Amino acid sequence: METTPSRIPLSKLEETIDAYVASYEKYTAAVSVVSIKDGETIVNKAYGYADIENQRKADTSTVFEWASISKLLVYTSVMQLVEQGKLDLETDIQEYLPEEFFKNLKYDDPITLLNLMHHNAGWEDQTAAEVFYYSEDETLELGETLRKNEPKQIYKPNSIVGYSNYGVGLAGYIVEEISGQPFYEYVDQHIFEPLHMNDTSIHPTGQDHPDLVQRRNEIEGYTKDLKLIPENRVYVTFYPTGAAIGTAEDLGKFLAALMPVDDSNVLFKNRDTLNEMLSTSLYYEGTSTPRFAHGFVEMEYWVPTLMHEGNLKAFSSKLVFDPESKFGMVVMTNQSFEEIYYYGLIKEIFGDNVNSNIITSEGGGYFQSARRAAARFTNLFTFLDITKYTKADLAKAYNVVEHNGVIEKISVTPYIDYLPVSNVKVNLIKISLIPAVLAAIFSLCALLGYVIRMLINKLRKRGNPTTNFNKYDLAINFAGVALLLNLFILQTKFYPAYFSIRINLIFNLLYVVLAVAYLCLLIYKLRKNSCSKKQTVMYIMSGISAFILAAFIVGWNLYV
């Protein structure tokens, strides 16, 4: 009797999925599930609501966003051109790009297509504002947008895995350069058309299939607790990395093509090319444990599988398959960072995945994601996201790299390495926050004190004695309170478009200018010595607070 990897009889698979969905119905917006076995679709069902507010049910024609599963189209396209001898996986990619394409490379080591597939070319991560936009009018030609948004290279190639949308977008651009076609046209001709994927598009705005765009606009997006996400249609700057939209059924056709049942092979002329693409190309450092198969993530459930996940502002998706048994699944939802199906249902069908490391060092400590912005306003928020892992936590990680009893990096997800952060650095970060918090508190108290004094004087029908400098003191403290509010707003922005945070960043820079101006005026005022000691102390305290907050903004790049 044929079964799933978790030993569920295939004859009962649909019933099992139905029961699973029913048990989590109250947490579900829409979910579409496709199961493939030996090239045949054995389950193709949709559940829940594409639009809860208008009670529009999801069905098998519902269009979802693929998000990062789109990257598999890049890897497949690259391998097709490798098969034709037009690309080589280990050649420096600068041979395929226009001259002087890069401006921010720090290391002379070559970057290869394998580095792009493995996310270890060394680039810093980019902010959501650089990766996503909300208006079709902002669409740029792929090569132009890659040049415009080139990140800094902060790691040596091959040393650190840090998930990179830029890197995969670059691989898509190389496909354009070599094929002479826009990436979306290449994929249409060499993947979608041969597989009869008529309900899928990877055009940056979907405008090559207006009907699909209309159907995409009929589905809303929700959080994990089913709150509506407004403006949930985002466009991807490096569009080959996440712009695909389509039905789960169509994604199932692509999945079936990755597991052909005989010598027939639609995606490649030679079966050996498919086998190469699905073979391990990167192991976890110092181990024989597979990590990537030319961009496909290798994941050990009860059987070895290949998979890729996808998340956008309002969608979560996952593709998982076992090439040996030729069984695979697609799960697509309209919920942000959804877990019930994205993880739970997959585990139900494929079994649990268990990792176990033997830690020889003392273990434990603070770690920071290698996927981070190094010189942008998100740098502060990345440092605030430093996580403490115990020795027990590390034992469950995918991999731990140690040298002479010292942990050099860990992998708590296949896509990203985490680097140790010393206790000293953690304490310095905390220390840097203390004066900033105290300065903000002083500004708030000074502003409240001024308002209270003004109200008391008004109630007692007394004038508000003031000096010419009081208005400057009031202004800088008011600006300090506004800065605090602005930083809070900036930190809570969810998938912001650049235009939506530009005013926040400009305000931060403006505060620095105001602080410098205030300090200059204060020095001039103190040299004239024309105010009381009490006023002098207050003005100096305001100046110190302004200096601290301005230094905080500049030090943490909160203006870029």
- CB contact at 8 A, 209 and 128: no
- pLDDT for position 194: 97
Task: Give the contacts of 348 (CB within 8 A, at least 6 positions apart).
Answer: 6, 8, 16, 20
- CB contact at 8 A, 363 and 400: no
Residue 308 identity = H
- pLDDT for position 375: 62
- pLDDT for position 462: 64
Residues 80-91, mean pLDDT to the nearest whole number: 98
pLDDT tens across 366-377, in order? 898 898 877 665
Per mean pLDDT, which of 16-30, 138-152, 379-393 is the most reliable?
16-30
Residues 46-64, mean pLDDT to the nearest whole number: 97
Residues 120-133, mean pLDDT to the nearest whole number: 79
Sign of the torsion angle spanned by Cα atoms 151, 157, 158, 160: negative
pLDDT tens across 182-210, in order? 999 999 999 999 999 999 999 999 989 99
- The span from the CA of 67 to the CA of 202, in Å, is 10
* Lowest mean pLDDT segment, chosen from 433-437, 466-470, 505-509: 466-470
- The span from the CA of 401 to the CA of 420, in Å, is 11
The pLDDT of residue 496 is above 70: no
Residue that wins the pLDDT comparison between 498 and 30: 30
The pLDDT of residue 47 is above 90: yes
- pLDDT for position 376: 60
The pLDDT of residue 343 is above 90: yes
* Lowest mean pLDDT segment, chosen from 315-329, 336-350, 399-413, 529-543: 529-543
The pair of three-digit structure tokens given for residue 63, joined into one six-digit string: 């269009």
- Average pLDDT over all residues of the chain: 90
| Res. 292 pLDDT band, cuts 50 70 90 | very high
- The span from the CA of 222 to the CA of 210, in Å, is 24
Residues 492-511, mean pLDDT to the nearest whole number: 74
- pLDDT for position 129: 58
pLDDT tens across 144-161, in order? 999 998 999 999 999 999
The pLDDT of residue 143 is above 70: yes
- pLDDT for position 130: 65
- pLDDT for position 500: 64
**DSSP class per residue in 401-456:** EEETTEEEEEEEETTEEEEEE-HHHHHHHHHHHHHHHHHHHHHHHHHHHHHHHHHH
Which strand (E) or helix (H) includes residue 309? strand 304-311
Residue that wins the pLDDT comparison between 485 and 130: 485
What is the three-class DSSP state of 79? helix
What is the SS3 string spanning 516-528? HHHHHHHHHHHHH
pLDDT tens across 205-253, in order? 998 999 999 999 999 999 999 999 988 888 888 999 999 999 999 999 9
Residues 524-552, mean pLDDT to the nearest whole number: 84
Residue that wins the pLDDT comparison between 537 and 253: 253
Residue that wins the pLDDT comparison between 60 and 506: 60
The pLDDT of residue 450 is above 90: no
- pLDDT for position 53: 96
- CB contact at 8 A, 169 and 146: yes
Strand partners, 3: 9
- The span from the CA of 60 to the CA of 72, in Å, is 22
* Lowest mean pLDDT segment, chosen from 48-62, 89-103, 179-193, 455-469: 455-469
| Res. 67 pLDDT band, cuts 50 70 90 | very high
- pLDDT for position 387: 85
Residues 77-106, mean pLDDT to the nearest whole number: 96
For the chain, percent of residues with pLDDT exceeding 90: 64
Cα separations (Å) of 329 from 4, 28, 254, 305?
A: 10, 19, 11, 11
For the chain, percent of residues with pLDDT exceeding 70: 93
The pair of three-digit structure tokens given for residue 444, joined into one six-digit string: 């708030």
The pLDDT of residue 268 is above 70: yes
Residue 151 identity = P
The pLDDT of residue 418 is above 60: yes
